[in-house]
Amino acid sequence: MSDSREVGKENANFRDNHRRILAAQFELRRRLYKAISNDPSLPDEVREENRYKLAKLPRNSSFTRIRNRCVFTGRARGVYAAFRMSRLVFRDLANKGMLNGIKKASW
């Protein structure tokens, strides 16, 4: 049963990475279409045409579909963006002294 969970986590990380690549690839086009379609000084036909082009872009190329995931476990919640790892993995590695500059607070 744990094998299927591991495969699911790997697939989640793979999907998220693919979304990041697509978002970077289509970023300029998406911003251009969005800027033109939101500009009220342009004619309605031009704005509508760019809304159509924006809708035709792949859904996964949107930055809102990107989810920060732990690179070790695939966990989607409690992920420190600076380290790209979940709080659980971070705590474990910090306690083992495997993260440079990180130590447990004591006062």
* Domains of the chain, start order: 8-65 (1.10.287.1480), 68-100 (4.10.830.10)
* Residue 1 pLDDT: 47
Tell me the whole-structure pTM to 2 decimals: 0.74
SS3 27: helix
* Residue 98 pLDDT: 92
Buried b (16+ CB within 10 A) or exposed e, 7-40: eebeebbeebeebeebbeebeeebeebeebbeee
Cα gap 85→91, rounded to integer Å: 10
12 confidence band (pLDDT: 50, 70, 90): confident
Number of C-beta neighbours around residue 60 at 10 A: 16
Q: What value does the mean pLDDT take over residues 75-90?
A: 93
Cα gap 95→89, rounded to integer Å: 10
Predicted confidence (pLDDT) per residue in 29-81, tens digit? 999 999 999 999 999 999 999 999 999 999 999 999 999 999 998 899 999 99
Q: Which two tokens stand for residue 32?
A: 């251009």
* Residue 2 pLDDT: 53
